[in-house]
Amino acid sequence: MMPEPEPESASIRLERDEVHVWTAALDDAHWDVTALGHTLSSDERRRSEALRCSRQRRRFVVGRGLLRRLLARYTGVGPRDLAFAYGGAGKPELAGTVGWSDLRFNVSHSQGVALYGLMRGRRIGVDVEVRRHLADLGEVARSCCSEREVAMLEGLPPAWRQVAFYWAWTRKEAVLKALGTGLSIAPDRVEVTLLPHEPAAVLAVDGDRSAAAGWSLFDVALGRTWTATVAVDANGARPDLSCRAISTLERHVRQDGTVIS
């Protein structure tokens, strides 16, 4: 198959064996919320207006606005002109043929931090969670982990149990988001590694170990407060992952959303 040509006006190049991850601090005071809001579609604006809490509203506008600016850099299509289509369980994707028609992305946010993952031609899912101490960890784990995973957690010293649970949780959710089902599928059906010395990996999907081999999981280091995972259905390959903060991208974007090349 011939490689798809890069769109003329795109200013970030994404190779087929690469995953680009961007992070953003949504509560930063320097975001121009009005300008970002102007890039949203009418349904996105309605969604933001329905949010009663002003902080949640601002986070949604900044998060979506930054997503649009980011995708504009990869596709060469203006942030306002991008359209999203939604899967049965709500996963947003680029609608129609814009720039690279095989550009895939996924988004996660937790307590003001947003994580964006992009790849070409492969399903991608991301999850970021702020790490809170779970007093009822055993109960939570039993509700979303397999028996094997619960036994692994119980074998760890208490302090590690908390950390390992978040690794397990974000790994499962990233896979379910890559599949597009989200939590409409029970998370215990995706079995993952969770011990401190084990690299991030999927062990089984619905009890099928061979289905797990196609997945590549990446932990993303975001400091002690957050746990984050990127999952890619990469057919057994290990793509190159790079992670950058979106504030570096913003230096190249004018207030009205147009790109300075």
Ligand X SMILES: CC(C)(COP(=O)(O)OP(=O)(O)OC[C@H]1O[C@@H](n2cnc3c(N)ncnc32)[C@H](O)[C@@H]1OP(=O)(O)O)[C@@H](O)C(=O)NCCC(=O)NCCS
> Looking at 49-57, 70-78, 106-114, 209-217, which segment touches ligand X (CB under 6 A)?
106-114
Q: Considering the complex, what minimum distance in angstroms separates the CB of residue 79 from ligand X? A: 15
Residues contacting 175, CB < 8 A, separation 6+: 125, 190, 192, 202, 205, 215, 217, 231
150-to-142, 143, 170, 173, 205 alpha-carbon distances in Å: 6, 10, 15, 17, 17
What are the tokens at 14? Answer: 């994404």
CB atoms closer than 10 angstroms to residue 183? 12
Give, as ranges, the residues between 167 and 196 that touch ligand X (CB under 6 A): 173, 177, 180, 182-184
Q: Which stretch binds ligand X (CB under 6 A): 101-109, 208-216, 228-236, 237-245?
A: 101-109
User: In this chain, which of 39, 48, 106, 193 binds ligand X, going by CB under 6 A?
Assistant: 106
Least Cβ distance, residue 204 to ligand X (angstroms): 20
Question: Reduced to 3 states, what is the DSSP secondary structure of residue 189?
Answer: helix
Structure tokens at 220: 């993303």
Instruction: Find the length of the chain.
Output: 261
List binders of ligand X among 19-58 (CB under 6 A). Answer: none
Answer yes or no: are the C-beta atoms of 107 and 116 closer than 8 Å. Answer: yes
Residue (58 or 109) nearer to ligand X, CB: 109
**Can you tell me which of 99, 103, 127, 257 binds ligand X, judged by CB under 6 A?**
127
Q: Which is nearer to ligand X, 146 or 170 (CB)?
A: 170
> 107 or 212: whose CB is closer to ligand X?
107
The single residue listed with the structure tokens 């010395």 is 197
Of 195 and 243, which has the nearer Cβ to ligand X?
243
Count the site residues for ligand X by CB under 6 A. Answer: 17
Residue 117 interacting with ligand X (CB under 6 A):
no
Whichever of 184 and 258 has its CB closer to ligand X, that residue is 184
Nearest distance from C-beta of residue 45 to ligand X, angstroms: 13
Closer of 184 and 235 to ligand X (Cβ): 184
Using CB under 6 A, pick the residue from 63, 65, 117, 187 that binds ligand X: 63
**Residues 61/62/64/66 CA torsion (nearest 10 deg):** 150
Q: According to DSSP H, which parts of the chain are helical?
A: 33-38, 42-49, 54-75, 137-144, 147-154, 158-179, 209-212, 246-250
Question: From CA 94, how far away is CA 148, in angstroms rounded?
Answer: 38
Site residues (vs ligand X, CB under 6 A): 63, 89-92, 106-109, 125, 127, 173, 177, 180, 182-184
